Amino acid sequence: MMSSPVYPPSFPAPSYRAAPVVLPQAQWPMEAPAGGVLVQQPPPAPTVRGQIGDEAQPPLVPRPAEQRPAPLVMPPPEQLGVASARPAAADSPDWAVVHHRLDLLGACSIQLDKLGRGGCRFTCLLPTGTPDRFHRVESQAATAAEAVRLALDDAEKWAGGK
């Protein structure tokens, strides 16, 4: 014989001594055990596996060369419509070469001035045989690279004729 369902009794308003017991809706209606007290059991913890066991994994077999995918080839930036790294400006000299040539000449001072009317002036001081006396080499041109080239040529001519 089946008994009629027993609903939990209504609880008094919460007080500081007891908190109300709320049962999930899915567990209602419940039948009371023989003692007449409803007891809520926590649900069992779910089993979670983060990895498939070794028995489910097939062994690794290398592919023959004819089955391997073709290697990935990266197209050049120009083909993708992206500008490549900008080349050195024609107005900019290669300072590593300039300093190397000036070091060979023994230059003790260099100066590059941008002129207000759109040109450049390059000046360097070369040592002479007399202490505290220098030979000044100066050139002007439309670009810095041209001014440096002209001054270096003049400095090397002067140093070769000493």
Angle at 7 between CA 18 and CA 15, to 5 degrees: 15
Tokens of residue 109, six digits: 């001072």
pTM of the model: 0.45
pLDDT recorded at residue 50: 73
Within-domain flag for 146: yes
Structural domain range at position 150: 115-162
Within-domain flag for 14: no
Helix axes 144-161, 95-105, angle to 10 degrees: 20
Within-domain flag for 18: no
Within-domain flag for 64: no
Buried b / exposed e over 114-128, threshold 16 CB at 10 Å, is eeeeeebbbbbbbee
The number of folded domains in the chain is 1
Within-domain flag for 143: yes
Q: Summarize the confidence of residues 3-18 as an average pLDDT.
A: 57
Phi, psi values for residue 25, rounded to 5°? -60, -35
Within-domain flag for 120: yes
- Decide if pLDDT at 53 tops 80: no
In total, the chain counts a number of residues equal to 162
pLDDT recorded at residue 81: 81
Better-predicted residue by pLDDT, 59 or 82: 82
Within-domain flag for 140: yes
